[in-house]
Amino acid sequence: MKLFFLSKIKQPFDDTQSLPEDLVNEMKDLISEHLLSLKNKIGAYFPDIGSENWEFKLARDPFQINVDILPDHIREQTIDLQCDSTAKVDFPNMDFEDF
């Protein structure tokens, strides 16, 4: 039964061998452009969280961030939080929203 479905799936792709090469290349270009467009749109929704953006680093783990990269208005609060042993113990065991 599995082979039956495999043959049905493969069948439409076998037909591309009969298409003119320039049409196949045009299809490849269109698909590539579409995939690049999707990549760019997804990138706008999910920016690189591995970047040097201090907001992402602070949100991920306020106890591991280097306070020297933080703006002055956040630095003191973060140092206070990092020195709070109860918060340090609670952080890994709580949901982000509850912390």
Give the separation between CA 18 and CA 56, rounded to whole angstroms.
51
Give the separation between CA 29 and CA 35, rounded to whole angstroms.
10
- pLDDT single digits (tens) 56-92: 888 888 998 999 999 999 999 999 999 998 988 888 8
Model-level pTM greater than 0.85?
no
Residue 98 has a pLDDT of 73
